[in-house]
A = this chain, B = another copy of it.
Amino acid sequence: MKKFQVVGIGNAMVDILAHTDEEFLAENGIGKGIMQLIDMERAVSLYDQVGPAREISGGSAANTIAGIAALGGRTAYIGKVCDDQLGAIFAHDLRAQGAVYKTPMAPRDSAQETGRCIVLVTPDGERSMNTYLGWSENLAPEDIDEDLLRDAEWLYLEGYRFDGPDSHAAFAQAIATTRAAGGRVALTLSDPFCVERHRAAFRMMIQADVDLLFANRAELLSMYETTDFDAALKAAASEVAIVAGTDSANGVHVLAEGQHWHVPAVPSRVTDATGAGDMFAGAFLWALAEGRSLSDCGRLGNIAASEVIGHIGARPEADLRALFAAHGAL
C-alpha cells in the first residue's frame, strides 16, 4: 500500500470572501461565476471597494486535499506560499485537517506575498473569483517533492496551476515521477477560461497521461470546442479512462469502460458555490482510492459538494462521513 492515496498540486492561497451584488460585478467588469487573474494593484483596488469580508483557506486543489483529509484519507499537497501571515493560515488549515504539507515557505521579504482570491458571492450563491496568484505562481520543477509522488496512488493536478512560467515543466516532472512509480494521474480543468488559455497543452496532457478527468459542462464544451455536452463527454471518454463531468444541479456523468452513469445531484440550498467542484473531486478520489464503484464515487462526490455549497467557504465544515452515513452511502 502506498503512503498517500492522493497527492495534489495547485495554487496555494487564502480566500477573502465578501457578499456583493450583480451591479458591483458589472461596474467592475468582473466575469460572473468564473476565475479571473488579477495583479496586486487590481487586488488592492478591488478589496478597497468590497464590504467586510472573512478569510478562509482556499486554493482549488488544496480544497480537494482538505476534503480528502477530512474524510480520513491519506493525502498530501504541493503548492507555494510565503512565510507571511496568510501563508501561516494556509499551512495551518491544511495540516490541521490532517494533510501532509511540507513545501518550503518563501522568505517573508520575497517579491510577492502569499496568493489570495477575492471571492465575491452574489445573492444567488454564485461565486466570482478574482485571483492574485502571488508566490504560488512560481511553482517550478525543483518544488516537486518526488518522494511524495513516488508514494502516491493518485496525483491530482489543478488546471489553474497551468498559469505561470515554469508550470508546464513542473507538471511534466510530477507526472513522470508518479507514473514511473506506478501511480495514476487525475486532472481538473478548473475553469472554462483556463481551458481557453491552455487548450492545446491540456489536450496533449489528457491524451498522453491523464487517467481521470474532472470537468464541468462549460469546461468540457470549451475543451472540445462544441456546444453539445453529450458529444464533449464522449470525446473525453475516448481519450481518458475515467471522465467525471459535472453539471451543477443536473448532477454528474461518469464515463468509463464504455459505460455511462448519470448520478443526480443532492438537492440543497446554495449559500456559496465556492469549492463545490473541489469537494466533489475530493470525495470522488477518496471513494475511488477506497475501492468504491464509480457510481458510488459520483454519489459521494455529490453529497460532499452539497455540504460545501450550504455555507460560506470552500472547506468542509460538517462531519462528511456522518453525512454519507445519513444518506445511507457509507
The interface of chain A, by Cβ under 8 A from chain B, is 47-48, 50-57, 66, 84-86, 89, 92-93, 96-97, 113-114, 313, 315
Tell me if B89 and A55 are in contact (CB < 8 A).
yes
Contact of A84 among B48, B56, B85, B313 (CB under 8 A): B85
Known: A84-B85, A85-B85, A92-B47. A55 touches B55 (CB 8 A): yes
- Residues in chain B near residue A48, CB distance under 8 A: 92
Q: Which of B50, B51, B54, B84 meets A55, CB within 8 Å?
A: B54
Q: Smallest Cβ distance from A181 to chain B, in angstroms?
A: 30
Query: Is A93 a contact partner of B313 (Cβ separation < 8 A)?
Result: no
How far in angstroms is the closest Cβ of chain B from A133?
A: 16
Chain B residues with CB under 8 Å of A55's CB are 54-56, 89
CB closest chain-B residue, reference A87: B85
Let me know if A53 and B92 touch, CB within 8 A. yes
- Chain A to chain B contacts (Cβ below 8 Å), 17 pairs: A51-B96, A51-B97, A52-B57, A52-B92, A52-B93, A52-B96, A52-B315, A53-B92, A54-B54, A54-B56, A54-B313, A55-B55, A84-B84, A84-B85, A85-B85, A85-B86, A85-B114
In the complex, the chain B residue whose C-beta lies closest to that of A53 is B93
Contacts of A315 in B (CB 8 A): 52
Residues of B within 8 A of A89 (CB): 53, 55
Q: How many Å from the CB of A134 to the closest CB on chain B?
A: 11
Give chain B nearest CB distance to A224 CB in angstroms.
37
- The answer for the CA separation of A53 and B92 in the assembled complex, in Å, is 8
A48 CA / B97 CA spacing, docked (Å): 11
A114 to B48, CA, bound (A): 19
B84 near A52 with CB under 8 A, answer no
The 3 closest A-B pairs by CB, nearest first: A55-B55, A85-B85, A52-B93
Q: Using CB atoms, name the residue of chain B closest to A14.
A: B55
Which residues on the B side are within 8 Å of A97 (C-beta)?
51-52
Task: Give min CB distance, A113 to chain B, whole Å.
Answer: 7
Bound-state Cα–Cα, A50 to B315, Å:
16
**List of B residues within 8 angstroms of A53 by Cβ:** 89, 92-93, 96
- Distance A273 CA – B1 CA, assembled complex (angstroms): 45
Q: How far is the CA of A84 from the CA of B51 in the complex (A)?
A: 20
Q: Which residues of B contact A85 (CB under 8 A)?
A: 84-86, 113-114
**In the complex, what distance in Å separates the CA atom of A86 from the CA atom of B55?**
10
| Least CB distance, A175 to chain B, in whole angstroms | 29
List chain B residues, Cβ under 8 A from A93: 52-53
Kindly list chain B residues whose C-beta atoms are within 8 Å of the C-beta of A84. 84-85
Q: Once the chains are docked, how many angstroms separate the CA of A54 from the CA of B51?
A: 17
Among A54, A56, A57, max chain B CB count under 10 A is at A54
State the CA gap A89–B93 with chains docked (Å): 18
In the assembled complex, which residues on chain B have CB atoms less than 8 Å from the CB atom of A56?
A: 54-55
Closest residue of chain B to A52, judged by CB?
Answer: B93
CA distance A82 to B50 in the complex (A): 21
Q: Kindly list chain B residues whose C-beta atoms are within 8 Å of the C-beta of A47.
A: 92
